[in-house]
Amino acid sequence: MLQLSNISFSYINRPVLQNVSCEFTLGKIIGVVGENGTGKSTLLKLITGILRPTKGDITLDGKRVTRTTAANIAFLPDIDLFYEFYTVEQLFRFYETQFADFSYEKASIVGEFLQIERGRKLRQLSKGQRGRVKMAATLGREVPFYVMDEPFAGLDPMVKDSLIKGLIRFTDMETQTIILSTHELYEVEPILDEVLLLQGGRIVAHEQLEVIRDEHNQDAVQWMKALHKERMN
């Protein structure tokens, strides 16, 4: 279990997250949603140990998350951090040298499923192809936690569809958890177990989708808008 207790984070004097507490249990897909600039990316970077909280603790199975314990967490960043001159093939080989838990075989299988051309250089790839490569490289790691920052942003519906299917196909809900931020809540909702709504650096709600639909009689987008409106008044 991944646990955040009273996390605050500031860049110099600008507070980004305030008093954030929540838990992520194994075997779930959790969507982190909220407006731009509300702290989603910062939250994900704290979870992966890339940033350190100004206050509070983040623990994974009771152990404090640092860059090294974050070895159990695979991160898909929202920007391209790849070497442009690598081919996809070389990138997979590079990942193999960087992460002990990276399976070249699995990345290749995911790559095939997502129809990635492995011989092409990254700089020659379209945005959609890059999105696929990032997904394959991330899922190539065999880890309990996948943290994905906007894995579907700016991609056309066909690419989104195939990434979503890849995500379902190549993760194991008995042993793994996926935390992903998204602005495409309507399209992503069918694969989510829980939604975490951030606003102004705080958690406004953390709810199970079945509860949203069963008890509030709303879909995730309506639920989010209603909460948002409530907070604005």
Partner 1 sequence: MTDFTRDKPIYSQLVDRICGDIIKGHLRLGDKLPSVREYAVQSGVNVNTVQRVYKELELMQLTETKRGQGTFITSDEQRLDELRNSMKEQLAESFLASIASFGFTKEEMLQLLQQKE
Burial of 207 (0-12, 13-18, 19+ CB in 10 A): middle
Closest CB to partner 1 among 27 and 128?
Answer: 27
Closest CB to partner 1 among 30 and 91?
Answer: 30
DSSP 8-state class, residue 28:
-
The angle formed by the CA atoms of residues 30, 34 and 39, to the nearest 5 degrees, is 90
What is the nearest approach in angstroms of partner 1 to the Cβ of residue 172? 8
What is the nearest approach in angstroms of partner 1 to the Cβ of residue 38? 24
Closest CB to partner 1 among 42 and 138?
Answer: 138
Q: What is the binding site for partner 1 (CB under 8 A)?
A: 27-29, 161, 164-165, 168-169, 173, 189-193, 209-210, 213-214, 217-219, 222
Closest CB to partner 1 among 52 and 225?
Answer: 225
For 106, residues 6+ apart whose C-beta sits below 8 A from its C-beta are: 139, 140, 142, 170
What is the nearest approach in angstroms of partner 1 to the Cβ of residue 125? 24
Side-chain half-sphere CA neighbours of 72 within 13 A: 17
Closest CB to partner 1 among 60 and 164?
Answer: 164
What is the nearest approach in angstroms of partner 1 to the Cβ of residue 152? 12
Residue 163 · residue 155 · CB < 8 Å:
yes
CA distances from residue 111 to 20, 33, 89 in whole angstroms, order as listed: 36, 28, 10
What is the nearest approach in angstroms of partner 1 to the Cβ of residue 219? 4
